[in-house]
Amino acid sequence: MSDDIVLKVEDLHKNYGNVTVLKGVSFEVRRGETKIICGPSGSGKSTLLRCLNLITRPDKGRIWLEREEITNRNININKVRQKIGFVFQEFNLFNHLTALRNVSVGLEVVKKMNKDEARKIALEMLKKVGLEEHAHKYPAELSGGQKQRVAIARALAMNPAIIFYDEPTSALDPQLIGEVLEVMKALAREKVTSIVVTHEMGFALSVGDEMLFMYDGKIIERGIPQEVIQNPRCEEARRFFQRINELYVGKRR
């Protein structure tokens, strides 16, 4: 495997009881790449992301992060997760900590950094997402868009090899989506490696390097976003993008 590959996924399977959620998913993410994953709900996108950092254990298949096989049982999973940033749909900020502490707590607890150093990095990251003047605020005092930007700063602070975004704008009011997407676009242009599960086609078109379309636990179409969105080969993808397009146009009106 070349150094260029940050993440390699091979034949991932996952069942919940009788329900098969992932039916053999394989792909690679190159350094600096922004990989878009889309597909109808229930197609296994979120489960896939959760399997990739082993929050959910896959039943079968292998995953390598920077040439290290993380599906190996002997590996220290907490060490691995430090290298994978995760941004949730529901933000999941720590409610008892200020924005600044939300970003610095991982550095202090996990990376054993001293408080001042962690604080410095946290401030830098908040500045990067445009929130340094809100550093002292608690999550309840922030808007949804601001919360999500803090969550992105929190992930960035750990200096991860890759960031996963799980529908990062789906829980936001339409007028707050833009500020989050701007931050994500800026990071993508800085070549921060990422996997983005999203239905924001504008985002996918402007910074996505490759798009994977998932359906029923499998990747059934892949290619550069423009091709997949505008000229999908399979019927499922065609129907999906048509629906998204109608919704997208309707929302912006």
Which residues form the interface with other proteins (CB under 8 A)? 53, 55, 78-82, 84-86, 88, 90, 92-96, 105-106, 109-110, 138-141, 151, 154, 158
Q: Report the alpha-carbon distance of residue 241 to residue 253 in Å, rounded.
A: 18
**Helix and strand totals (H; E) in the chain:** 9, 10
Element (H, E) at 194: strand 194-197
* Residue number with CB closer to other proteins (64 or 86): 86
55-75 in b/e burial notation, b at 16+ Cβ within 10 A? ebebeebebbbbeeebbeeee
Shortest Cβ 155–other proteins spacing (Å): 8
Shortest Cβ 215–other proteins spacing (Å): 26
* Residue number with CB closer to other proteins (158 or 172): 158
Largest CA distance in the chain: 55
Q: What angle do CA 182, 193, 16 make, to 5 degrees?
A: 100
Shortest Cβ 80–other proteins spacing (Å): 8
Q: Report the alpha-carbon distance of residue 176 to residue 145 in Å, rounded.
A: 5
* Residue number with CB closer to other proteins (34 or 53): 53
Q: Which residues contact 214 (CB under 8 A, 6 or more apart)?
A: 25, 37, 38, 39, 43, 44, 45, 48, 220
* Residue number with CB closer to other proteins (187 or 201): 187
Shortest Cβ 83–other proteins spacing (Å): 8
Shortest Cβ 199–other proteins spacing (Å): 21
* Residue number with CB closer to other proteins (2 or 76): 76
